[in-house]
A and B are shown apart, each in its own frame.
Chain A
Amino acid sequence: MGRVRWTSSTPSRPGASGNLTVAALLPTYQMVSLDLVIESLLNGLLLGGIYAVAALGLSLVFGIMDVVNLAHGHMLMVGAYVAILFFMATGITPLIGMILAAVILFGFGMVLHVVILDNVVGEGIEQPIIVLFGLALVLQSVGRILLGSEAQAAELGIPGSAISIGSATLSFPRVVTFVVALVLILGTWAFLRYTTTGLAIRATAQNNAAAQYMGINTDNIFALTLGIGTALAGAAGALLSMLFPITPFVGWSYLLKAFAVVVLGGVGSIAGTLVGGLVLGVSENVGVLYLGGGFRDIISFSIFLIVLLIRPHGLFGKSGGGE
């Protein structure tokens, strides 16, 4: 029997084992109290912030380079493992490990562009899709060889108790990661808005040829964009490692979630991405409350497909870009 390898390589469901507070209440299918709904709504908002970070990287690369990074979810997985291993080795909080993960993946993204993507971008959509699919595969299997298939997670490593708002309690790690996520998104926005390099990136996105006439080296801009995109994936992975167990197989699932957020928010729109992330986080968490933990991914993928079909350019997106 040659073909039973990787039975666990299906897009795994991080929610099935994580998020125990909500999932534990579910098998009884009892009436869901309003307090519980509010609580999971708020927790969903907090989770949505991280989804927005993950999606922002994908959205930038898609909007500027016109390439969907199919390995984005797997890069997120790599970032999560960097933070987890750093935490296990030194005991230092993954919030610091996040910086390490972002730096490593920034370099990885730049190298990836120079070595591989530069040769296939602009040659139709098939080649980048297939190459990045292959890269996702390599990352996943290397991850499995090096780290095994067991789920691993990091702890926040900062003492702090749950925060109560009225009758709802918010877990402390979620609040912290949400704040960090907001800082990352604001930072990316400020970088694009107020720095000269950011201006060059936006100019390249608007009109590649015109940007070149203005003396912008668009090759460098593409490499930088991919670096920033993958760094954001790494940071999001580090944040997620504090909330959910990570396995080498979570890549596909997070790729689809991040892309769902991109579609919700519109390609290249930072505010839209943030709103999209929050919408996805909330609908996932509240949906799980009613349908059960096994439905977490079904919910987000379905939302994604429905939005994609009704508004192919996203809820808040303008038409054009990334077709």
Chain B
Amino acid sequence: MSALGSIGSRLREPRTRRVLTVLAVLWLVTIPFTTTAYITEVFFTGLVFVMLGVSWNLVAGYAGQISLGHAAFFGFGAFVSAWLTSPGRAGLPESIQMPVVVAIAGGALAAAILALVVGPVMFRLTGHYFAIGTLALASIIQLILLDQRQFSGGSTGYYVQQSFGDDLMFLLALATTVGMYLVYRRIVASPSGLGMRAIHDDEGAASSLGVYPLKFKMYAFVVSSAMAGIAGGFWAQYTLFISADSTLSVVWMVDTLVIVVLGGMGSLLGPVYGAWLFLGLDTVLQRVGGEFATTVEGTLIIAFVLLAPKGVNGILRTWFDDDESGTAADHN
């Protein structure tokens, strides 16, 4: 414990952490140029996972609103960005064709607007009702898109065309992920982040102290949905194929949930750890026995909630922290 503790005390120095973070990001920058296309794609998926995890953690981990409809915003962002780079396939006029970056921003904006419209309605629900309501909403959005073959390609899917290469897209996604994390950290540390945590802990008490719950719920929900829309946009523009079946699938919700629960819900770095851990797990499982991947994921969700509710982030803390939370946890 003491050896780990001394590593821990060094790790907890802000300067060490900053250096390590910069090194990690720099290493990621080299990925497209030093590895194969397959490995680049794996790491790209990791970046999308970080975006999804971070965005869902904001609304669920910090604001305490268990939305099970995150996949809808991811998918909607993906489709809007696809319509903007390749409008012809949906029968839209070619004049609205946009460059990739603008299209992804458009996808994010569309997801944010969708959240802005449905948010006040969904937030009339609380707790379990909110969770199931968002699950139903996501299903409705998916079924409608599936039904509108002209816009979504139905179950055959939608092919995306754009001019950026894979390497450039990867670097763009990396920059966006870093930027998104900084925005997320800033929001969590801001007074609004405090408001979110207050309504998470006790909505009644918070609102009696003048914290207006709807305001902070909506703030978290809209920002989180826009981030999911960005992730969806990147996914569409990198893989160049989306479909209402797979891109709006509840699978994305599942992945997001696993990432956040694995990493540690309501902790800043949790979703980042969770995303890379899940990526490794998922990639290995796909190779070893693809069909068991989901079973393992589901089991992991259950196991983590029961045995390590604070996730990997919590475990790391008890290992590396020498005095404060480490021993406190031992005493319990």
Contact = CB atoms under 8 A, between A and B. Distances in A.
B294 A137 contact: yes
B299 A138 contact: yes
Interface residues of B, number: 57
A59 B41 CA distance: 45
A126 B66 contact: yes
Interface stretch (A17-25, A220-228, A294-302): A294-302
A8 B245 contact: yes
Contacts of A305: 133, 136-137, 140
Interface string B305-323: 1100100000000000000
Interface stretch (B4-12, B80-88, B249-257, B268-276): B249-257
A262 to B, nearest CB: 9
B66 A135 contact: no
B136 A125 contact: no
Interface in B104-138: 121, 124-129, 131-133, 135-137
A129 B306 contact: no
A297 B60 CA distance: 27
Nearest to B247: A3
Contacts of B121: 309
Interface residues of A, number: 56
B249 A10 contact: yes
- The interface centre, meaning the residue of A8, A126, A140, A263 with most chain B CB atoms within 10 A of its CB, is A126
Output the residue of A13, A130, A301, A302 with the most chain B CB within 10 A: A130
B250 A129 contact: no
Interface in A212-261: 252-253, 255-256, 259-260
A5 B285 CA distance: 12
A62 B128 contact: yes
B141 to A, nearest CB: 10
A301 B42 contact: no
Interface stretch (A141-149, A159-167, A174-182, A275-283): A141-149
13 contacts: A6-B251, A10-B248, A116-B306, A131-B302, A134-B297, A134-B300, A138-B302, A141-B295, A145-B292, A259-B136, A301-B139, A312-B124, A323-B128
Interface of A: 1-11, 13, 62, 67-68, 70, 116, 119-120, 125-127, 129-131, 133-138, 140-142, 144-145, 252-253, 255-256, 259-260, 263, 294-295, 297-298, 301-302, 304-305, 308-309, 312, 322-323
